[in-house]
Amino acid sequence: MDAKELGTQIDKYVRPDTFPVGVKIVSSDSDLPAKAKRPVRDFGEHITICQSIGFSRRYGWTIAMNGEDLSCPIAKVAFGYKPALDYYTDGNLVCGMYTADEETAKRTEADVPKLTAEESGFFVSFPLERAPFDPDVVVVYANSAQVMRLVAAALYLRGGSIPSTFSARADCADIAIKTLRTGEPQVILPCYGDRVFAQTHDHEMAFSFPFSAADDLVAGLEGTNRGGVRYPIPQFLRYTAEFPPTYQKLNQLLDEAAPSK
């Protein structure tokens, strides 16, 4: 299955409000898509990784960026563009904002998934329906019911449950790096920066998975659909509504005034 067909199937069964997005780490600029936009070159702006995904899922643009385009210092370290200086590893970006003290701050920063400098490259994001090549990872932003739909599909052929971790920050590393490292799907809780800089809505969550799992995911979407797990979620409507007393009184008077037709 290619990326475009995957996008079609996700749209059919999940119906997300924004484009499903493919993410790929590309090592050489000669391999970048011809129509990819570079943030500094084309926008005159440095942006975050989550903004790149936002451009792809909301505008349908292909974005290619590396450390020269990146504004977020956490992502500069996480994606291997800059070394993890002591100021970073000591937890100065976390302490007082996310954690109560330096020791907990260090643990929080150490927990962020990271690429090495050798693994680093251009972070390329694009809507699946316009995919220039197959991605490494796919991420779908959706509401909680739609994410539930994707979780059910991912488990259709394997059973069990999907373990995910949440830290309220650096969700770009969870979306791309953790999914690459583990080869497993992840439920993503959009972080504070994703909401501030990429303007992710309060009702949105995300689901990421390795593209290598695309066939199994689509089989799961089809299978669970046949089984009755669908979106939009069907509502139970076969009941008699309960009305306030004045409505009930009128119903009684109407029944007494004339027989029903």
Taking a C-beta distance cutoff of 8 angstroms, is the pair 187, 205 a contact? yes
pLDDT value, residue 261 = 62
**Residue 260 banded pLDDT, cuts 50, 70, 90:** low
Burial 172-194 (b: 16+ CB within 10 A, else e): bbbbbbbbbeeeebbbbbbbebb
| Assessment of whether the complete model's pTM goes beyond 0.85 | yes
Domain ranges (residues) in the chain: 3-257
Interval 105-140: pLDDT, tens: 999 999 999 999 999 999 999 999 999 999 999 999
The string of DSSP codes covering 145-202 is HHHHHHHHHHHTTT-S-------SS-HHIIIIIIHHHH-S-EEE---HHHHHHS---T
% of the chain at pLDDT higher than 70: 99
- Work out the mean pLDDT of the chain and round it to a whole number: 96
Kindly tell me if the per-residue pLDDT of 81 is higher than 80: yes
Kindly tell me if the per-residue pLDDT of 185 is higher than 70: yes
Beta-carbon count within 10 A of 69 CB: 24
Interval 3-29: pLDDT, tens: 999 999 999 999 999 999 999 999 999
Beta bridge partners of 139: 21, 208
Kindly tell me if the per-residue pLDDT of 104 is higher than 90: yes
Using alpha carbons only, what angle is made at residue 124 by residues 81 and 85, rounded to the nearest 5 degrees? Answer: 15
Burial 139-161 (b: 16+ CB within 10 A, else e): bbbbbeebbbbbbbbbbbeeeee
